[in-house]
Chain A
Amino acid sequence: DTEVTQTPKHLVMGMTNKKSLKCEQHMGHRAMYWYKQKAKKPPELMFVYSYEKLSINESVPSRFSPECPNSSLLNLHLHALQPEDSALYLCASSQDVTVPYEQYFGPGTRLTVT
């Protein structure tokens, strides 16, 4: 199984809402990532978890809060988002962060903030 799953596929939320994005993999990977992708732009790295510990935060605003409850699961908690946060949020995983490595991406969650 080389699949990364993400739920929900689509999410519409107001600026005062609290919601969560979920990502799951069962490949035994020990590194997991969140990316943000705006339309017609490349993915931008947000967070990296390595062995369930946050190892990289790319200066992401605190209204995005990642969580890695176990090695298979990665969440992104959203609170008080702005309309400019509307984007495709991609989750990825890799065996670990030792170079070279291949990242497996999920299909993404399309987020719209109203």
Chain B
Amino acid sequence: LAKTTQPISMDSYEGQEVNITCSHNNIATNDYITWYQQFPSQGPRFIIQGYKTKVTNEVASLFIPADRKSSTLSLPRVSLSDTAVYYCLVSDYKLSFGAGTTVTVRA
């Protein structure tokens, strides 16, 4: 399984864009990049998934460069309710959660 490295924590303010970069140098050809969000005492929630280039959905964008050794989750115009732990996962079968990034949004 490819190991991922993310910042431990990030602070932001309401209305700002938050970008979280994940490093996965050993990503394999079959691996997809997936991001999950988790609030305290709840199960993780799928945010977005991609293989290469850019993927966008109603809540986030995922940017993946051509070498796929890193990826960036972009959360546009965050609100207080976006305060959570964000996990970057790279897996071809099993989900292996790394330490995650705690994002704190302040008013």
Contacts of B43 in A (CB 8 A): 4, 90-92, 105-108
B93 contacts A97, C-beta separation under 8 Å: yes
Q: Judge whether B76 is part of the interface by a CB distance below 8 angstroms.
A: no
Contacts of B51 in A (CB 8 A): 100
Bound state CA distance, A105 and B45, in angstroms? 7
A42 contacts B94, C-beta separation under 8 Å: no
**8 A Cβ contacts from A100-114 to B:** 100, 102-108, 110
Bound state CA distance, A88 and B44, in angstroms? 12
A10 to B: closest C-beta gap in Å: 10
A42 contacts B99, C-beta separation under 8 Å: yes
A87 to B: closest C-beta gap in Å: 12
Bound state CA distance, A4 and B46, in angstroms? 13
B42 contacts A107, C-beta separation under 8 Å: yes
Bound state CA distance, A97 and B92, in angstroms? 9
Contacts of B41 in A (CB 8 A): 88, 107-108, 110
Q: Judge whether B10 is part of the interface by a CB distance below 8 angstroms.
A: no
**8 A Cβ contacts from A4-55 to B:** 4, 33, 42-45, 48
Contacts of A108 in B (CB 8 A): 41-43
Contacts of B42 in A (CB 8 A): 107-108
B98 contacts A48, C-beta separation under 8 Å: no
Q: Judge whether B87 is part of the interface by a CB distance below 8 angstroms.
A: yes
If A99-B32, A100-B34 touch, whether A42 touches B93 (CB-CB below 8 Å) is no
With both beta carbons as reference points, the residue of chain B lying nearest to A50 in the complex is identified as: B93
A99 contacts B100, C-beta separation under 8 Å: no
B94 contacts A43, C-beta separation under 8 Å: no
If A100-B51, A106-B43, A108-B41 touch, whether A45 touches B96 (CB-CB below 8 Å) is yes
Chain A residues with CB under 8 Å of chain B are 4, 33, 42-45, 48, 56, 88, 90-92, 97, 99-100, 102-108, 110
8 closest residue pairs by CB, A with B: A105-B43, A42-B97, A100-B32, A102-B46, A90-B43, A43-B97, A105-B44, A99-B92
